[in-house]
Chain A
Amino acid sequence: MKLLTGNDLKSGLVTWWTGKDWSINIEDAVDVGEEGEAILAAEQEAQRVNSAYIIDGDEDAGTPRPGHIKDRVRALGPTVRPDLTLKPNDASAIDKVV
């Protein structure tokens, strides 16, 4: 699957394209298929999100999983600060990144 991601202009937080908007939770991300470039162009014009790009991913137990470790770290948060990740109470979250 193809995912579209970037950082929110105002907060800087990692965001994922949900089909009609952006979300900080990768669970909300959708497969953009062949539409990625078109959405990217439109969203660049809208200037809500910075440095947006398309990545490869696959699905893992119903949740999108980025193909590269960098984007998996982006999706979760710093692996050395589980308290600051999006899953502070999930002890296995970091193992899934690596």
Chain B
Amino acid sequence: MTDIFSLRDDSPVSEAPVSIEEFLGNSNATAVRIEVGEDARQLLPNLDRIAMVEISFPAFTDGRGYSAARVLREAGYDGELRAQGDVLLDQIRYMHRCGFDSFAPEKPLKADQVDAVLKRFDAVYQGTVDGQNPVWNLRHGN
């Protein structure tokens, strides 16, 4: 199994995720996997019984997972949100800003490099789900 790189305080969920279809069927699973192109909104009625959502990135250039992550966070999901697949150093910051807090990359990430990437920018132009206050609020004392 790939190493999980987590930015969370709790430890990564070890349960193997099931498909959305299986989860929505008669399942006790608490970990779900969203394949690229699947609608994350299908999970919204059941967020309270999910501990981990894994979103697949078959290729890092396919950005659908970013929207899927935000959809879940915007609905209040606060469990582990894992990016799995072609997860590369230079996309980590964008992923983090969209709500991902754990990563299962196909090629391992170096902790110090991830740390540097996440600290690189101290200002952001837009509000997302990561709690960073955008500069247009800071400029006006909000």
A and B directly contacting (CB within 8 A): no
